[in-house]
Amino acid sequence: MRRLGLGIVVGWLVCACLSPAFCAAADKLPEIVDARIGFGGYFKVGHWVPIELTILGGTRPAVGRVSVLLPDGSDLQTFYHSRPERPLSFAPNQPTKTVLLARLGRLIDGFPAEIALADSRKVIPQRADLDRMPSGNSLSLADGHRLHLMLGGAIGLPANADETLPYQLVSLASVAELPTSALAYDGVDTLAITTSDAKRFQLLQGDTARLDALESWIHAGGHLILGVGSAAQELLGPQGVFARFAPGKLVDVETLASGAALEEYSGTTHRIAPSGRGESVDLRVPRFDRVEGIIEVSADGLPLVIRSPRGFGRITFVACDLDTRPLSAWAGRAALVRKLFHEPADKEAQSADAVGNNLYGYSDLTSQLNANLDEFPGVSVVPFWIVAVLILGYVVLIGPGDFFFVKHVLRRMEFTWLTFPAIVVTVSLGAYFAATWLKGSQLRLNQVDIVDVDSASGHVRGGSWIKLFSPNTDDYTLSLQPQGIAAGSTTPSTTFSWLGVPGQAWRGMNTPSAGADLLERRYDTSPQLDAVHDVPIDVWSSRGFQATWQSQHDQLDAGRLRIAAEGSLAGNVTNVAGVALDDCFLAYDRWAYKLDRIEPGATIEIKPGQQRDGLEMLLKKYEQIQSNKFSSVVNQARPFDVEDPRVPPVVRMMMFHQAAGGPAYSTLHHGQATWTDLSAHLRLGRAVLVGEAPRDHQAAQLQRDGQPLNATDSQRWTFYRIVVPVDLGTRASASTSGAKRD
């Protein structure tokens, strides 16, 4: 019997050792060996950023997905997952690269991750310590700083190595570093491409994913600077990779003898050196037919700098090679490039010292909007001094008060075993009912929507900022569904995520993460990035969310406008929002036409010479004051109030921040929702009709578990902006004479 028992044990051990589970445990499993956040190791907190992971396969082939765990704007951990319909294949001992899109709400030096294997259903925990990875640590840009990408040869813009300038320039090594998703560009302010070496762009031939992503980003609000000179026939011809971004139909490539126009445009006294054949600089310049956009500088009938609106974004086309001679050796090139990027000179870049100098430590317009959305009707906040007095009274009550009562009134000290818990229970119940009375027992919602409609292209985009107040501790699965014209004629592409506070103030996103909270709470962002699952909200607390969406509309006729006498507008505009709009005005260039209320579908005529006001005066709320110095009444701008609890003034400043003077006026950055600022379009042959919808109107519906959220006392603010093209006549047309033709 002993031998039989021993044989059974040995047989069981042999079978266990040969089992797939035992072998799998002994196998080497896939692991993350490198991680990189953003572009060139730079990114912006609060924005969608690409996270590139390199995963080394194990000893056996495997298929699975990867997830990363990152802090949100409240330092709560949230999962981001790779797409389940696109499983990753891990070849044995071979690296696999994948890119996830995620948002960082805090500064981190590493993050947890998981690799889930489909065949064995095994989840492999990982830890990506960025400072130990081959790609090195990733750096977040300071609040309000801009991120510029450069593809091609150097163009003379300083890379800000000493971090004294308000931007960071990152050079991409190849076209392979261009994202395949438009959302990956979310934190990018400008992408500049120079093309003197046309061979480096051959990989883009047929790579529709990267080109489509770039085009979608531009239409959503991005800025592309494209410099094409000698390689125009190859890159801008009918089959050229950048033909879709050309400002017109390419006719020919010609030689420009003089660089005087660029010298004057750059504002420098430096001359472009001749090429060696007399006084000619021999610039190779493409000629276009039917140029669309604003020609800022031309020479001999050849447009040299053209700024064109594309959807809600824009393209700055430079018709020469900035990265080769003669411009690469020109001392004035840096001034020209700064003008193309809209970057000020070095000394001017340091002039925004007043940003963030306010009572609440706000540094961005979205910080103020976030705070204003935290004001819920029916929810009272108890001042701190009252809380302090009540705590002191409670201490006195359970201490000296209880002692005096049992000793001098009851004269039985042992009764404290009854009085003490009775005081605690009574005070606790009183605090609970008082809090219920002050905070309420209803779910409450505050929501701001901005809906933009481009009548020329039919492109529709929108953004929502949401605060949800929960009367009890609960988990929420939330998403957003655009409604009406905001949804477009096609299925809208939506992103939904958390809302954070920019800056280094308390709870600001530019502060280090504390890691997982004590309860180790976490939630999920859907792989499609359009919903959040099981977000915890504590009792009588609020949590913020934000969403964006893009869609396309088939037919949108918002009117016709043209330039009349003295630069005024003439024509008509139509309210295509599908809802009445109040407090309307039509903005163009530096002017604003007040239109009051416009009914849905109504058309308003703009007559030549019609009364107009300065847009800056409208945004800054100019008021007349008595001047002691001049003994007369003068107009003076009202300072922007960063403590104003109203929502509409903040939203209007977001919509035209640069037109109002930018941070010099508002004392706030506008880096978290830069796309909302349409100031640049006003100078590109576009007029913008602005109006606010009634408070009961829903442009985008917040949903819980796929159903409309039922919230009490909801507050909504919905703003529509309808972009209408303006016929500029000869202003955008280029002459076709005078250049030397090769």
What digits encode the pLDDT tens for the residues 144-185? 889 999 999 988 888 776 667 889 999 999 999 999 999 999
Pairing of strands 139-140, 42-43: parallel
Judge whether 201 and 172 are in contact, CB under 8 Å: no
Mean pLDDT of 382-391: 77
pLDDT in tens, 72-81: 999 999 999 9
Q: Looking at the predicted structure, is the pLDDT value of residue 478 above 80?
A: yes
Q: Looking at the predicted structure, is the pLDDT value of residue 731 above 60?
A: no
Query: How many residues does this entry show for the chain?
Result: 742
In order, the DSSP letters of 265-298 are HHT--PPPPP-SSTT---EEEEEEES--SEEEEE
Q: What is the largest CA-CA distance in the chain?
A: 119
**Residue-averaged pLDDT of the chain:** 86
Whose CA is closest to 706, among 446, 475, 379, 477? Answer: 477
Q: CA distances (Å), 465 to each of 105, 449, 640, in order?
A: 16, 7, 21
pLDDT recorded at residue 279: 77
Whose CA is closest to 33, among 57, 59, 51, 50? Answer: 57
pTM of the predicted model over 0.95: no
Spatial distance between the Cα atoms of 267 and 259, rounded to a whole number of angstroms: 13
Spatial distance between the Cα atoms of 553 and 213, rounded to a whole number of angstroms: 19
Whose CA is closest to 221, among 658, 673, 543, 542? Answer: 673
Mean pLDDT of 293-317: 95
DSSP 274: P
| pLDDT confidence band for 4 (50 / 70 / 90) | very low
Which residues have C-beta within 8 Å of that of residue 434, sequence separation ≥ 6? none
pLDDT recorded at residue 548: 97
Whose CA is closest to 694, among 575, 578, 576, 579? Answer: 579
Q: Is 403 exposed, middle or buried (0-12, 13-18, 19+ CB in 10 A)?
A: middle
